[in-house]
Every structure is written in structure tokens, then in C-alpha cells.
Amino acid sequence: MWGEQPSCSPHCYISSQGTSLIRDRWATKTGLILALAGNAIGLGNFLRFPGQAAANGGGAFMIPYFLSLLLIGIPLMWAECAMGRYGGRFGHGHTAGIFHRLWPHPISKYIGVFGIFIPFTVALYYIPITSWCLAFSWFSFSGAYEGLVTRAEIGDFLKAFQGWESNAHFHGRGALYFFFLLTLALNLMILTGGIARGIERFAKLALPALFGLAVVLVIRVLTLSPPAGAGPDQTVLSGLGFVWNPDLRLLGDWKVWMSAAGQVFFTISVGWGIIHTYTSYLGPDDDVALTGLSTVSLNEFAEIVLGGTIAITASVVFFGIIATQDIVAGGTFDLGFQAMAIIFQQLPFGSLLGGIWFLLLFFAGLTSAVAITQPAVALIQEGFGVTRGRAVALVGLALLTLSVPALWWRGVLDELDFWAGTFALLLFGFAEAVIFGWIFGIERGWREITRGADIRVPAIVKPVLKYVTPVFLGAILLGFVFQSLGGPLESAPWQIWGARGLMLAIFIGLASMVRVALRASPTEDA
């Protein structure tokens, strides 16, 4: 409500013990933008995007891509930033509390639970994957996989490292756990520092490093020479042509439009609850419009200019177009961990370049890992009035314990990614678009987006947010349901059912915590 005011200043919140606690704040706008961009820029920018473009019409893919960016990406980014800042006025740093303020209905906070459930569940496998990037960076620098020059050989190395088989490279999961614990510890250390002294300081170091490493790799890839005996297709221009040459006939295929919309939705990391959490640490009149647009533009630069140039181009130069199509069809791990590890070994200073490539992926992963851990920390810290250090320790312990199935059972990672990292994400994105545009109300939403704005937000965004964004997201969700939901519901081994049970238990656990936290909050009925 416009008349609603929190029971203490916007800088504080009331703990369950009734004491007034100071909320963290961002120190600088640049720091917030870099933290939000760090959240958005992930492995998908460098591995998923070029494959999606190549498989969906090449350069023609960019037409629905940019349209989706204008109709879904940027409007939803602004809406999430506005929702987060609004909830922050009431001391809420998680979507359960924020949604309860947007829509004072008993069910709203349980819809908001998705914004804590999704990032926490994804963290169970995303932090391990991030740790693999760190491990492979070390393996490249130290020459541990030197001489493994076929995809099968590198594949065996990766499988042994992951503990799926024992061979000459690794026995057991010792190395896997070493790098996982190191990555988790780094993540928790950054979070313990808080918003300005932890996340913001880290983002100010990691993002420039990430862009610097990526630019080094782009320059190296654009100056690649074909290997000895290469075919006429194995050139840099052929690689760029593989990604960018347009096949305009595919614009008539609705799947291409859905792929573009899905890619935009996933790449800017809307629908996670993280942007709400980060922007909740803003003051009530701080800008969100320029912040949101800057975040999107940095993410798109990383995706289109840098991500669209490195991996696929290098793969075409070294393996040719037919083999690259096969690698892309094999998924992001085939491209990122196998193909790139082989390619860099063929170059002068290959260990160094390979190490830089995996370090780049590690920085992209760690900035996102920090972001997906923060909503759960915010729930415990603000909902139960405990110190940040204790909240971080509790979440860390939960991540350490609950990530065991993802590390030990085959298929669990994909199962968590399917339900939490894809389906729940689309569901939550659609729900928040409806709540913001129709329940909170587009007029109030518009005032929230434009209040304190450092740029003029075009008036067309208002009807787009009310009508176009929910319809577009609803179409993606329906397309996903019809296309992908049938198979996974069929019979599955016990590990998969275990993963489903784990997700259900996490959701119920978080919902129970939200119920208690919001009931205890004196601002509940403000």
C-alpha cells in the first residue's frame, strides 16, 4: 500500500526478538550493477547462447532474441528491481516477504517461496559445477590433462574426476570434494562479508577480471590459424558464419521464437528471486531503471559479443562444422569441458590459455553462486533475527549436506536442473509477471519503476508489462509443459525419485520457515 510504512526506518528491520537490526546497503551504484551482472553472467553466456543461435537460424535468431529482450527481458528486469526495492522498505530481502507486501493474501508468500527454493536448489548443483571449472583451471595450469587430445580421453578424465569411474587419472572423489569445499568456502566467505563489504567488493574485482579474461580469449580466437591438414571450412570466418549466417526460413518456426524467448529469460536471470533480493538493499528512492538496463546491457555484451565469439568459433576452426554440430548437440559440458580443453592444448601457451578459459568460467560461476545463496541467507537472517555469520553458516551446512545426492547419484543434477532450474523458474516468472501487472497493479508498479529513475523509462513499457510480458511468458511455459513434461513423469530409477523427494522436502521446509518468519515479524500486518 502507498500509505504503508515499515515500523522502523528503511535501514532497519525488526528481528523475531523485537529488536531493531540494521539492514545492509549497497555502497555504490556501480557495485550493485556489477553484482547483478555477475549474477546474470554465467556459464550459459559462454556455452549455451552460441549453441542456441547456431541451432536456431544463426543470425536470424537475433531477430526474435532482441524482440524478446525488449518484450520480456528488460521489462521484467525493471519489474523485479522495483519489487525488490519495494519489499526492502519493509525489511524483506526474500521474495516470500516481498510478495506478501505486493499482494496481502495468504497464498502470496508461498508463491514467493519459489524465489528462495529455486536459487537454493540450483545451488546444490551449480556450486559443484563451478568447482569443476576451478579444478579444470588448475588442471590446465598444472598440465594434469596434457596429452589427452581426443574427446573420449578428456571425457574419461572428467568422469574419473567426478567419481563416476576409477581410472589412471583419479581414484575416488578426493579431488572432487577438495575443489567443491574450496569453492563453497569462498562463496560463504564472500557472503559473510555482507552486501557492501562482501558481495559488492567481490563483484568489483570479479567482473572486471571476467571481462578481461574474456577479451584476451576473444582476441586469441579471432587470430587462430587452422591446424595442419584442416579442411576449407575450418577458419575463423567459417566459425563466425556458423553462428551468424542467417537462415531466414526458420523465422516461420514458432520453436525458434520460443528458444529465443527462453534464452533471453534464462540469460538475464529473471524469475530466480535474486534480483528482488539484491535490490531490496536499496533505499526507497534509489534508481532501479538505469540499474536494471545497465545489468541487461552488460550481460548481453558478455553473451553476444564475447560468448558468441569464443567457444563455437574455436571449435569450428579445430574440429570443423560437422563435428561442432555434434559437440553442440552433446550439450554445454561437451563444448566447455571437453572440446575447449583439447583446443587450447593445440596452441602455444595452451596450458595458460586453457587455465584462463576455465578461470573465466569459474568467475562467471562464482558470481552467480554467491547470488543464488543470498536469498536463503536473507530469509534466515531477517526472518529469524540471527546474525549474518550464523545465517551464512547454517545455509553453508545445508548446502554441504544436501548437495551429496547431486555429487554421488547419477542423473540427480539433471533432475534438479529440470524441475528447479527450468520448470519452477518459468512458473515463477509467469506468476510474478501476473502479480506485478495485475494484482499489485500496473499503475503502482509503474510508479515504483519510475520513482528515482536516472533515465526516462518509455511509456510503452507499461502496457508491455501488463499484457505482452505475461502472455509471452505464459506461452513459453505452456510450450515447455507440452514439449518436455511428459517424459520425465514416466518411470524413473530410485535416485531420480530421491531427487524429487529432496526438492519437495526443501520446498516444504522453506515454506514452513517462511510461515514462522512472517508470522513473527511485527511488520506482518502493517
Partner 1 sequence: MEPHTLEPAGWALLLSSWLLISGLVLFCVRRVLESRDPSQED
Nearer to partner 1, 189 or 218 (CB): 218
Q: 373 and 119 in contact (C-beta within 8 Å)? A: yes
DSSP bridge pairs for 22: 12
- Pick out residues in 141-200 that bind partner 1 (CB under 8 A): none
What are phi and psi for residue 89, nearest 5 degrees?
-60, -25
Nearer to partner 1, 80 or 415 (CB): 80
By CB under 8 A, is residue 203 in contact with partner 1?
no
Side chain identity, residue 515: R
Best CA proximity match to 292, nearest among 512, 49, 137, 83: 83
End-to-end CA distance of the chain: 10
By CB under 8 A, is residue 321 in contact with partner 1?
yes
Residue-by-residue DSSP string for 127-168? HHHHHHHHHHHHHHHHTTTTT--SHHHHHHHHHHHTTSS--S
Give the DSSP H/E element, type plus range, for residue 407.
helix 404-408
Cβ at position 365, least distance to partner 1 in Å: 22
By CB under 8 A, is residue 326 in contact with partner 1?
no
By CB under 8 A, is residue 59 in contact with partner 1?
yes
Which of residues 13, 26, 78, 337 is near partner 1 by CB under 8 A?
A: 26
- Quote the CA–CA distance of 140 and 145 in Å, as a whole number: 7
- Quote the CA–CA distance of 191 and 282 in Å, as a whole number: 17
Which of residues 58, 75, 128, 273 is near partner 1 by CB under 8 A?
A: 58
Distances, alpha carbon 128 to alpha carbons 206, 366, 506, in Å: 19, 10, 18
By CB under 8 A, is residue 11 in contact with partner 1?
yes
Which of residues 120, 157, 242, 362 is near partner 1 by CB under 8 A?
A: 242
Q: Would you tell me how many other CB atoms lie within 10 Å of the CB of residue 232?
A: 8
Question: Which of the ranges 90-98, 234-242, 416-424, 483-491 carries the binding residues for partner 1, by CB under 8 A?
Answer: 234-242
- Pick out residues in 375-404 that bind partner 1 (CB under 8 A): none
- Pick out residues in 253-312 that bind partner 1 (CB under 8 A): 282-283, 285-287, 290, 293-294, 297-298, 300-301, 304-305
Residues 71-90 as x/- pattern, contact with partner 1 by CB under 8 A: --------------------
Cα 434 to chain centroid, rounded: 22
Nearer to partner 1, 320 or 355 (CB): 320
By CB under 8 A, is residue 230 in contact with partner 1?
no
- Quote the CA–CA distance of 343 and 319 in Å, as a whole number: 9
Which of residues 32, 71, 217, 342 is near partner 1 by CB under 8 A?
A: 32
- Quote the CA–CA distance of 458 and 107 in Å, as a whole number: 33
- Quote the CA–CA distance of 421 and 331 in Å, as a whole number: 16
Cβ at position 330, least distance to partner 1 in Å: 19
Give the DSSP H/E element, type plus range, for residue 14.
strand 12-14
Nearer to partner 1, 211 or 507 (CB): 211
Nearer to partner 1, 140 or 294 (CB): 294
- Which residues are at the interface with partner 1 (CB under 8 A)? 9-11, 25-30, 32-33, 58-60, 62, 66, 232-233, 235, 237-238, 240-242, 244-246, 282-283, 285-287, 290, 293-294, 297-298, 300-301, 304-305, 321-322, 454-455
